[in-house]
């Protein structure tokens, strides 16, 4: 989230070449942050798809209003800051089938979009962040999104990077992945280049029902645990020069009717020549109700003018989890390509294409194409 806030506040080169807008708004936010320690952003995002082939509906679209921020309340002028982190969203569908469910509509095992749903109001973040060891370590306690600290890299954001889950956190091979659940995380740098992150969260977490999260966490105590060890050239390069291995384990969930499981993921990314960001990522799972037993992705991001545009291309092979779907399903092959443009300082537009070879659940078609358009307005 801190990276999003910094990016939103930064003057960016844009395709239209417009003058910066909203100066009074930015100046007021700067004064508020300096006076009270509160930094926040307001944002609206939308995504729509048209599919070349479908089992039923061939269009899908959804929007999301997001309000998020960091409020430094303890040690504001020191390295060991204590902060309240919050993110409130309203995710709403424009069509009968939102993008989060559209993959199965076209016969694809997986998520062609991981966040554009019709859940309505939800609290993705509401937790305390405490830095320690002179800023080298950080801990989270409260309602949090584990995709913010597990298997992360620079192109994983579903709001600004790839849309398909296979190119995001977990590559579809980590079970559960609650994006709004009661939990805790502790992480930090063991040396100048080696870091470790461990966390535990409610595997039954529901971001639309915060009160229910206390019951499921403390009564059922069915959790997902993660541990990640990684290396980066410097703390400031964590998301763009990174190699890590992530281990995870999830408990059996009685109400959901899913078994326990575990797995391992690995990721390698490194920025090249200030324009290229190649990546190799993958994961393997044993039970746990993950989408895939195995998933492997490679690709790159390319920015001709950093901060103004971003081209992304990813290729993925995945094997659906036999234990999850109670049958041996065929392997799938996915390609996603997107081009993000910073149209004005506040507005991003991202057309995309997802090409799916052998959509497993559509036995009459060997190939499906999804044409997408995503828009983002942030203040």
pLDDT for 212 equals: 79
Exposure letters 94-118 (e unless 16+ CB within 10 A, then b): beebbbbbbbbbbbbbbbbbbbbbb
What is the arithmetic mean of pLDDT over 188-208? 95
Residue scoring higher pLDDT (218 or 52): 52
Domains recognised in the chain with CATH numbers: 2-378 (2.40.160.10)
Strand partners, 184: 141, 200
Strand partners, 93: 62
pLDDT for 114 equals: 96
Query: For residue range 91-118, what is the model confidence (pLDDT) as tens digits?
Result: 999 999 999 999 999 999 999 999 999 9
**Distance (Å, whole) CA 140 – CA 199:** 9
What is the arithmetic mean of pLDDT over 16-41? 86
pLDDT for 177 equals: 87
Q: Give the confidence band of 8 by pLDDT, cuts at 50, 70, 90.
A: confident
- Statement: residue 16 has pLDDT above 70: no
Nearest to 375 by CA among 54, 62, 24, 154: 62
**Distance (Å, whole) CA 222 – CA 96:** 32
In sequence order, what are the residues at sequence separation of 6 or more whose Cβ sits closer than 8 angstroms to the Cβ of residue 78? none
Query: For residue range 55-87, what is the model confidence (pLDDT) as tens digits?
Result: 999 999 999 999 999 999 999 989 999 999 999
- Statement: residue 215 has pLDDT above 90: no
pLDDT for 307 equals: 82
pLDDT for 131 equals: 97
Q: What is the mean pLDDT of the chain?
A: 94
What is the arithmetic mean of pLDDT over 148-152? 95
Q: Give the confidence band of 164 by pLDDT, cuts at 50, 70, 90.
A: very high
Residue scoring higher pLDDT (64 or 209): 64
pLDDT for 288 equals: 94
pLDDT for 118 equals: 97
What is the arithmetic mean of pLDDT over 277-283? 98
**Distance (Å, whole) CA 200 – CA 218:** 13
């Amino acid at each position: 989230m801190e990276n999003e806030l910094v990016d939103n506040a930064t003057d960016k080169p844009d395709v239209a070449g417009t003058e910066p807008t909203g100066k009074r708004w930015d100046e007021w936010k700067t004064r508020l942050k300096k006076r009270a320690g509160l930094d926040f952003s307001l944002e609206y995002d939308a995504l729509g798809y048209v599919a070349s082939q479908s089992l039923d509906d061939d269009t899908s679209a959804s929007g999301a209003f997001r309000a998020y921020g960091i409020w430094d309340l303890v040690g504001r002028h020191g390295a060991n800051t204590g902060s309240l982190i919050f993110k409130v969203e309203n995710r709403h569908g424009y069509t009968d089938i939102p993008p989060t469910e559209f993959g199965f509509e076209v016969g694809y095992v997986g998520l062609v979009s991981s966040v554009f749903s019709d859940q309505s109001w939800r609290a993705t973040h509401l937790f305390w962040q405490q830095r320690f060891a002179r800023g080298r370590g950080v801990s989270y306690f409260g309602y949090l999104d584990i995709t913010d600290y597990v298997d992360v890299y620079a192109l994983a954001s579903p709001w600004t990077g790839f849309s398909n889950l296979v190119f995001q956190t977990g590559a579809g091979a980590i079970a559960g992945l609650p994006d709004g659940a009661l939990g805790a995380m502790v992480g930090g740098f063991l040396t100048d280049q080696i870091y470790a992150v461990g966390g535990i969260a409610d595997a039954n977490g529901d971001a639309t029902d915060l009160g229910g999260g206390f019951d499921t966490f403390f009564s059922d105590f069915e959790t997902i645990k993660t541990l990640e060890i990684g290396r980066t050239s410097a703390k400031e390069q964590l998301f763009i020069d990174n190699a890590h291995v992530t281990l995870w384990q999830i408990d059996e969930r009685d109400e959901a009717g899913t078994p326990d499981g575990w797995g391992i993921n690995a990721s390698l990314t490194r920025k090249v020549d200030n324009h290229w960001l190649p990546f190799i990522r993958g994961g393997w799972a044993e039970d746990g109700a993950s989408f895939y037993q195995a998933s492997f992705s490679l690709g790159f991001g390319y920015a001709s003018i950093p901060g103004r545009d971003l081209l992304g291309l990813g290729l993925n092979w995945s094997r659906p989890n036999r234990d999850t779907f109670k049958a041996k399903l065929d392997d799938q092959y996915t390609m996603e390509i997107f081009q993000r443009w910073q149209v004005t300082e506040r507005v991003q537009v991202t057309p995309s294409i997802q090409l799916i070879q052998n959509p497993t659940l559509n036995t009459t078609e060997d190939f499906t194409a999804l044409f997408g358009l995503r828009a983002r307005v942030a203040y």
